[in-house]
Chain A
Amino acid sequence: MQNLVKHFPITSRGIILKKQVGLIHAVDGISFSVNKGETFGLVGESGCGKTTTARSILYLDPPTSGKINFEGNDLVSVFKSRNKAEKLKLRRKIQYVFQNPYASLDPRMTVADIITEPLVIHNLVPKKNCLQRLYELLELVGLEEYHAERYPHEFSGGQRQRICIARALAVEPTLLIADEPVASLDVSVRAQILNLLRELQQKFNTTFLYISHDLSTVRHICHRVAVMYMGRIVEVAKTKNLFDSPLHPYTKALISSIPIPDPMAKKSRIILTGEVPSPINPPVGCRFEARCTYKKDQKCVTNVPKLVDVGNNHFVACEKTKKS
């Protein structure tokens, strides 16, 4: 299918992870779609289900229920089937850059092995051209040719993350999932990686799903952002709209609690009381109800707020926002 805008409508409902006694409602009925060529940000605090969502796209954590569509294919049914060739084809198209570049590279493989392994597995490049492709990829992510024979421990965190990005890009994916790619890097190196991701996207028109808890990097890199709280999406909007006029009380608090590196900045911080409730026994209605700064009523306690379009592609899940 070659439509003008290709959609990856990802609609998952009730992804629940089983764990001993009781259930952890890690991701609980979220829906969103990512357009081709855009960077879609998924933000939220730790434990809100960002990573689980990303992992279920690749079937690393099989979703309990729900549908994930990717270029017209139902990912869940493909991954559930025994069709290995089909699975491999999809895995090639969706690549993952993990959070910790110290843990996601095999310490016993050289960089050349690491980056060419996907090429061999997917049989993309004839053996004799592998080396050439490897050097291309290294250059692409700003590494030198002589780095190819080295082992991961010889590299700094920033360089390792570059290797991970090169490995992911080796198979020319259409969707790249980046799970907190800069969280474990130093501030001065962070900017390098973020700029690299941006450049690569413009070059290859890859779609990014960018997961982060750091709103300032999200604002820098994403076109659209979804804010998650306790396994549910509370707000989806274009980056500019989300930061300029957040509507959900949680988004407001989240944005206001980022420390601004300007001593003269106006400080109108919304301090939330309490902490994120347990996902084993989540509140029935709105999950944010207990910490919400808005005036609450019975509806908030009993009704699950739905994502509602408030215009301009801005979706909010809050009973209170609807009325105003």
Chain B
Amino acid sequence: MVKKILKIEQLKTYFYTWAGIVKAVDGVDIDVNEGETLGLVGESGSGKSVTALSIIRIVPSPGKIVEGKILYKGENLVEKKEKTLQNIRGKEIAYIFQDPATSLNPVFSIANQLIEVILRHQKISKKEALEKAIELFRLVEIPDPEIKIWNYPHQLSGGMKQRMAIARALASQPNLLLADEPTTNLDVTIQAQILELMKNLRNKLGMSMILITHDMGVVADIADRITVLYAGRVCETADTKTIFYNPKHPYTQALLTAVPSLVLKTEKLTVIPGSIPNLIEPPSGCRFHPRCEYAQQGCKETIPDLIEIEPGHKVACLRTSEIDLKSPLGGINNN
């Protein structure tokens, strides 16, 4: 039996804005096994980032976790006191933010920022902390760590900053790493470097990871399992192969066919009509129904439950058994 390191049940995070309540995350179930990488996929506004921020409870105001449980190693983080949480953040669960340029403090040297994290969670002297920081820099493959560590963020390139952000996240050897679009702002050749680095580090340190991205190519490469989010709800969860070769939710399939890629050789891209719904007044029933080509009357009225259709493969669609979806990649071939 694989141990679950994180289990989120019916998480609801709402933002109370003047225009109304934005239901950014509306009943999300996610679980992460020990040592596993979960890919959290969805478009902007699907609630990926808010879910991750909710886990360590740093949802910016006016957002609030309204309902749900976040079980980390069996303990509910939603009910924890702020003091206890501070000892979990950065130590047990670390976060890599999307934009390395804004997640680093421009007025402190990198050494300063790394040492701060290390001293917060470990009882060692400043000198030892510095040695540790340099060690971390070596881990994330930054050349000349002894010199580079005294640089300020503006002296580093985007790729280097992201390496530094990864080093900071790894400072206390977390059990769970939340990586929020770690490569979105980087060029493709640098993205390849960072992804390779993250894969190596994960294997070396054996930690669990939630990788948030909108790029199906990135998750195909690095994730063990994938959860697809749409408008604050989970559409489908399965292992990576199943998601790509045997998708059961129309949105998952649409995501695979609408993205131009080097694999697909179609002339015209399949288009998902319309755009992402307004989350103040989300569509009734299944949230994807206004854009779904398989939608029926029932889809407008009933909210589909996340049902396990085969071991490890959960889908939230009323018509799963009726419709026959084809993956653009063809069926599963086990070679």
Q: Within the complex, what minimum Cβ distance (angstroms) separates B55 from chain A?
A: 24
Interface residues of A in 236-294 (CB under 8 A from B): 243, 253-265, 267, 269, 271-272, 275-276
B62 at the interface (CB under 8 A from A): no
Contact of A271 with B43 in the complex, beta carbons under 8 Å:
no
Q: How far is the CA of A187 from the CA of B42 in the complex (A)?
A: 9
A25 at the interface (CB under 8 A from B): no
Q: How far is the CA of A254 from the CA of B189 in the complex (A)?
A: 6
Contact of B216 with A271 in the complex, beta carbons under 8 Å:
no
Contact of B269 with A267 in the complex, beta carbons under 8 Å:
no
B254 at the interface (CB under 8 A from A): yes
Contact of B260 with A220 in the complex, beta carbons under 8 Å:
yes
A155: nearest residue on chain B (CB-CB)? B275
Interface residues of A in 122-177 (CB under 8 A from B): 156, 158-159
Which residues of A have CB within 8 Å of B255? 187-188
Q: How far is the CA of A198 from the CA of B260 in the complex (A)?
A: 14
Pick the contact of B187: A45, A263, A265 (CB < 8 A).
A45
Q: Within the complex, what minimum Cβ distance (angstroms) separates A229 from chain B?
A: 10
Segment among A10-18, A189-197, A307-315 that sits at the interface with chain B: A189-197
Interface residues of B in 238-287 (CB under 8 A from A): 240-241, 244-245, 254-256, 258-263, 268-273, 275-276
A301 at the interface (CB under 8 A from B): no
The 0/1 profile, CB within 8 Å of A marked 1, for residues 140-169 of chain B is: 000000000000000001011000000000
Q: How far is the CA of A262 from the CA of B220 in the complex (A)?
A: 6
Contact of A190 with B258 in the complex, beta carbons under 8 Å:
yes
Q: How far is the CA of A268 from the CA of B189 in the complex (A)?
A: 14
Which residues of A have CB within 8 Å of B268? 195, 198
Pick the contact of A272: B193, B258, B276 (CB < 8 A).
B193
Pick the contact of B244: A192, A263, A275, A276 (CB < 8 A).
A263
Contact of B263 with A265 in the complex, beta carbons under 8 Å:
yes
Interface residues of B in 203-225 (CB under 8 A from A): 214-221
Q: Identify which of A158, A215, A216 gathers the most chain B CB atoms within 10 Å of its CB.
A: A216
Q: Within the complex, what minimum Cβ distance (angstroms) separates A181 from chain B?
A: 13
Q: How far is the CA of A271 from the CA of B193 in the complex (A)?
A: 6
Pick the contact of A46: B160, B187, B260, B275 (CB < 8 A).
B187
Pick the contact of A191: B192, B217, B272 (CB < 8 A).
B272
Contact of B214 with A191 in the complex, beta carbons under 8 Å:
no
Which residues of A have CB within 8 Å of B218? 259
Q: How far is the CA of A160 from the CA of B59 in the complex (A)?
A: 30
Q: Within the complex, what minimum Cβ distance (angstroms) separates A100 from chain B?
A: 15
B33 at the interface (CB under 8 A from A): no
Which residues of A have CB within 8 Å of B245? 264
B190 at the interface (CB under 8 A from A): yes
B269: nearest residue on chain A (CB-CB)? A191
B321 at the interface (CB under 8 A from A): no
Q: Within the complex, what minimum Cβ distance (angstroms) separates A235 from chain B?
A: 15
Contact A258/B217 with A192-B271, A216-B262, A220-B260 known, Cβ cut-off 8 Å: yes
A253: nearest residue on chain B (CB-CB)? B189
A213 at the interface (CB under 8 A from B): yes
Contact of B220 with A263 in the complex, beta carbons under 8 Å:
yes
Contact of B259 with A261 in the complex, beta carbons under 8 Å:
yes
Add 13 more A-B contacts to A188-B275, A191-B258 (CB < 8 A): A187-B258, A190-B258, A192-B273, A195-B269, A219-B260, A254-B189, A259-B191, A259-B220, A260-B261, A261-B219, A263-B241, A271-B193, A272-B193
* 5 A/B residue pairs, CB under 8 Å, sorted by A: A191-B258, A216-B261, A259-B191, A261-B220, A275-B160
Spell out B's residues near A (CB within 8 Å). Answer: 43-44, 157, 159-160, 187-193, 195-196, 214-221, 240-241, 244-245, 254-256, 258-263, 268-273, 275-276, 329, 333
